Every structure is written in C-alpha cells, then in structure tokens.
Structure 1
Amino acid sequence: MSTEHDRTPTPISTPITADLLRGALELEHTAHGVLPHRLPARARAQCADGQLAMVESQPSGVRLALRTAATAVELDVLATKRVFVGVPPRPDGVYDLLVDGRLAGRASVTGGNTLTIDMATGTAEHRPGPAGTVRFSGLPEGVKDVEIWLPYNETTELVALRTDAPVEPAPDRGRKVWLHHGSSISHGTDAASPTTIWPARAASLGGVELVNLGLGGSALLDPFTARTLRDTPADLISVKIGINLVNIDLMRRRAFGPAVHGFLDTVREGHPATPLLVVSPIHCPVHEDTPGPSVPDFEAMKAGTLRFKAAGDPAEAASGKLTLNVVREELSRIVAQRAADDPNLHYLDGRDLYGEADFAELPLPDALHPDAAAHLRIGERFAGVAFAAGGPLAR
C-alpha cells in the first residue's frame, strides 16, 4: 500500500473534530489545526513541568477512527520531534494504518519542528519547521473502518484530512474502554510503532478500546492525574506505579504509601466499583536495590549511545529512599490492605510481565526501557493475565 509519495488527488476535505478521534481527552485549536491532548487543560494548568507538557501532547494511543469507502487518505501534520545532543538522531515517528482492525500500512512524515535536548545542561531549544503529509492509498474498495494511529513519540498537530470519498466517525464497536496510566514504558518508548507499544498490543489481544495515559517521566502520583482518571469514562482501569518515582528520587517511603492511598482514593471517587489493577515496575537491574535519581551515562553518550544509570547509594534505602523492590513491597501491602473493602482492586507484580529471565534474553537497551520485541512480549503477557477469563480485567 503506497504512502506519502503517491500524489493521487484526494479532493474531499473533512474538518478534524473530536468525534473522529479516539484516545484523546481534549483537542486544542492551534494556529495550524488541532492538537490532541491526553491531559485536560485544567490538569495541565496545575503543573508547569516541560517534560509533562511534552509527553502529554505526544499522542500515544491516539488514533483517527473513520468509517469510509475511501481508497486514499491523506493527513497533513505538524510534528515536533526530539533530538538529543551527542546521540544519533532517532527515526521519524511512525503512523500505523488499520483497515477493519488489521494492519494495512505504515508510514512516516519528514520535516516538522525540532526540540533539541541537551541532557548535560538540562536545556532545550525549539526550532520551527514545515508541516508534512502522510498518505495511504490503495485501500480496499467498499465501506470499511479505517484507523490511523499517530506516532507515540512526536507531538502532532493535525492540520488537514483529505480523502477520495466521504468519511464519518467509526461506529462504537461496543468494546469495553480500558483506561491505563503509567510511565514512559506504558507511553511506548522504544517500541516499533504506535500499535506495538505494549498497551496497544494488549488492548488488541484483549478486544478493548485503549485510552493510554502513559506519560513518559511523569507517572508521579500527581493529584491532577488522579482526577483525570477519576473523570474519564472507563470500564476497566490499570495504573502502573513506581519507576518514575525512583527515576527522579521524588519522595521517600514515608510519603509514598499515603500518596498511593490518596491517588487510589481519588480514582475510586469516580469509579467506585470499576475493576482496578495496580501494577508494580518491571525488572530493571539498575534500580532494583539502588535508589535514584537516574542520570545519563555520559561515557556511553561519548560513544553515541543513550544510556542511563542509577546515581543513588543502595545504603540509602535504609533511610527511606525508594528502590523498585521497596516500591513493590509497599504496593503489594497497600493493595492487600485495601482489597479487604474493595474486591475489585487487584495487584500485579510487574516482573510477571518482564522479569530477570526476560532481561537476560531481551536486555533494556538504555538500561531503563524495553526494546520493540520486549514491548510485544509485555503486551501479550498483560493480555494473558489481565484480560483472559478469570483475570482482574476480564471482560
């Protein structure tokens, strides 16, 4: 199926409105078009962190969902792409085309804005660039459901949608809505494409509709995130907690337990009986018993490789610093305590999704994030544990 290089005319232009999108909580109108957000404006207004602003505007799990007889679809976009100083440029973000639920094409868009990040100085420079076009043609004749999954790792303003036949919102397939929150691993870092990040893979296998609030570097038990989960309609909910709290050395054990309780209390205000799964961190050797913060490995960067290491001291765990093992111990205890009065609350040890044996076979390339193959494995295991008959999120 041809992509952006095939220039067959697509004469019908359709405004991009919220009813054509799934996985976004809000659309912001910009000078260029519309920008999908995964946190609402009220939440964004409560935190000025640049990392959070960047990742919530990266449309992980967001997709155009159309019913159409079109055989060609063209989407103009203005992407913002990240470049890290001292590290080879990352590939352009990927757009996945699904026709009637099956992968039918994959493409990227050149150009766009550039955000150059210098991890040595903690600075970032934004340079504007041109919009680009992603095009899929040769789609099957006849009416069908078409989804275009947006890149999980590029802020993406949607400028224009053109087709060679009218479009309308894809119908509701009657699937349960799965609302998930987690860190950069849930966000999709280092997955091959937007439909192969582990939550998307799990959702596909589980037959559920994904709303992904995986927020790279920003799963920090923020009250505004808890309120967003509370206020978002969902049939099934999961929260993956821990690695980011260790990454930035945000809190101590004394604060962690009450913060988890408060986060879950808020979610339960809006979803008092919804199946809710708490997932602890996957296996990550650098932080199993060593506190954060995580810092760039500048020696590796001199060789052109992006890697991280733990800057804490294992002895500091005794004074309350968080490690992954401490986090797992606390989460298991908290869920067991609450489950006595909340039978729809469940716990999953993240090492059941990716453990020591998996690390030996599929090591974390930058010491923190799974590679593309590991994303698929995690998604398949999550679906097998959570969505299968008798699982905590069984439909």
Structure 2
Amino acid sequence: MSGPAKPPRTLLHERGFRSFFLAHSVSQFGDRISELAFPLLAVLILDATPAQVSVLTALVWLPNLTAVFLGAWVDRQARKKRLLVAADLIRGGLLLTVPVAFAFDAGTLAQLYVVALLTGAASVLFDTTYPAFFVLLVNRSQYLAANSALSGSRSLSFIAGPALGGALVQTLTAPVAMLVDAVSFLASALGIGRIRVTHATGDEGGPGTARLWRQAWDGLRFTLGHPVLRASLACATTSNYFTFMFVTLLVLFASRTLDIPAGLLGLALGAGALGGLLGAVAAPRLSARIGIGRSIVIGAVVFPAPIALVAVADGPLWLRTVLVGGAQFISALGVMLFDVNLNTLKAAVIPDALRSRVVGAYSTINYGVRPLGALTGGALGTWLGLRPTLWIAAIGGTMCVLWLLPSPIPAVRSLEHLDGPDQIQPHLTTTGP
C-alpha cells in the first residue's frame, strides 16, 4: 500500500524563485521608504515648491524614454542576471550619497535631481531585463501564480514601508530613511547574484547583427501591431499620465493642505496598501471566476477613481487621514487586479526573442509619459490649485478604460484560451491605437 501523496511543490520551494522573491521583497520595502522620504526631504528640509517637487518626480521617470533602445540592447546580452545585479548596485550606491551629503550639510535640491535621474536610469535597465529573466525562472503554467506572489510582496511593502518610512523621517530624519533604501538595493543584488539560471545564448553583435535602432523598431512595431499590447498600452499610458499628476502632489497636498504629520501620513498610506495585498491574493481567484480580461477592465477603473476621495478630504484630522488611507486602499486593490492579470497576459503573448525589446518599447511610452504627468500636475497645481488638479487626475485617469472596451482583452478568459485556435495574433501593419 502506497503512502500518503506528497503535497505539490509551490514556487517558493524552488530555490531560484525563492531567492528572487526575497531579493524583490527587500528591495520593494526599501523603495516604499524612499518614495515617502524623497519628496518629504525636498518639502520639509529644502522647502521645495510644487513645481520643484514635480521636476523631482519627473526626473525619476525621464530615463524611460530610452527604454525602447535599451530593451533592444538587453535582448542582445546573454547574461541577464549580471544586468539585474549591476542595476541594483548602481541604485544602492547613488542613494547612499544622499545621507552622506546631508550628514555634512552639503545636500541640495540639485543633488536630489541628479540622484533621481541616475537611479531612474538604473531602474530602466532593471525593468527591461526583468521579463527575460522572469521566464527563465518560471514555467508558463505558473506565470499567474508567480506574478501574484511577487505582487503580494510588493503590496506588503506598501503596507509596512510607508509606515516605517514615516516613522524614520519623523524620528531620525529623511536622509536616514534614504540610507535604508540604499542598503535594500545592496541586499537585492546579493540575493539575485546567488540565483543559478541557464541563460539563452545572446546576440552581442557581429557582422550579421541588425542595427540597434532596427531592433528597437521591431519591438515598437510588434507592440503597436498586437491588439492586446496596443490596447493595454494605451490604457496604461492614459492612466499613468493622470495618476502621476496625483502622485506628484500627494505628499505635498497631505503635508501642507491637509496638515497630516509625516508619521501619521505613513501609517495612512501603509494601512491603505492593505488593498494591494487583498488585490494580489484575489486576482487569480477573480480571474478564474470572471476571466483575466474582465479583471483587467475592473482594475483599470478602480485604480484611478479613488483620487476623488483625496480631492474632497477635509474636516478633522482623523477624517482627513481616513480619506487618504481609504483612497489608497481602493486604488491599491485596483492596481493589483490590473497589474497581476495584465502582466500575466503580456508574458503569454510576447515571444521570447522579443521580450526586452517589447518591454522597452512598452516602457518608453507607458512610463515615459509619467514625467509629463508629473510636470503637468506641478503646473496645474500652481495655476489652478491642488484640489482642482486632483479632480482632473481622478476623472482623466478613469477614462483609460475606454481603450480596453473595444479590444480583444475583455473576452480573454485564461491563458489556455490563447493556446487554442482563437489565439490572438499581432497585426504588424497596424501602427497605432
């Protein structure tokens, strides 16, 4: 008589994925701390204006405009892991300069601008390399589970990270909080460096190699020609433009207009991020019930709409704080429903040979619009005021769903559907949404 059946191995039992998961989690926690500490450093210590804060945010995302070319270059590299480690080490070293400079009373807004720009460039390198590395670690059948796990750790970081960041800023100052993020990148580099993967053979150049610009164009052409990628890109770009009008002004609005202390603001953002954890856990179950495509549509609406709650925030301190935290909760829930399912769908429809090129092209447009959104938020915040700008962000962001409705995405129920005779194919002659 045979013994009891062994329980199936989960992804976290796989050594490679577990190492990546832990490295990713540590880095995400550090990011959440600096995302609060960085603008608070500019606002509270350097007395930055709305326009200056918007420039700081814009510089972080400006390097994404080069992603279309960087993605083509990454596709030609054999050792993707080395690129991830290098990106983490660069970001950790750059962030380390901030607490050192402020320790000697030498920190300036100009330095923050430089650090923001260069860390943003290193992040583009990491993000364009990540998808190609991801498929080396995870089987296709486990894409949804892997994205759910990684998004879950990211959501946890949004819960504890802002609260820890707010406490560090309030008790030990913002530069010390930046030091924590620098250490997290170094820890991430160490964790990723320990992973053993079998890399595909890279095409690093030679007489028969196509020009870099041609490879970049191939990635852009495939992205704009594929009905799923084209519609999702238009949706995400619209959402990013308007939500970054909000992201740019959130800390400034909460600290100056709503007069919420740094520690309490961190707690509100952290508590609100519980919605992200709920969304990451619920995304696979919801997609199994209603389909991947419909989950993406719901997430596209639920993500930007709660900005309106922040726009109307007023009254006693507890109510202002609850409205900010509640908006974050609903928004985080929406972005997880959107991201987990969309990342899974994208991983299924992008060919291996084009992954970094397509991600680079996608990021150039999707993330490249974020600096424009940030600068628009700063300009409108100065011209119209902060509350009217938040209303514009809420309404405009919600309109992003209009790109999805006529596309094939709402009808996609599962990845198995894509493997059948009705598999969605790209139309490479199409050049725009």
State whether TM-score is above 0.5: no
Instruction: Give the TM-score normalised by the residue count of structure 1.
Output: 0.29
Instruction: Give the TM-score normalised by the residue count of structure 2.
Output: 0.28
Between the two structures, name the one with larger relative contact order (CA 8 Å, sep ≥ 6).
2
Question: Greater share of helix residues, 1 or 2?
Answer: 2
Question: Greater share of strand residues, 1 or 2?
Answer: 1
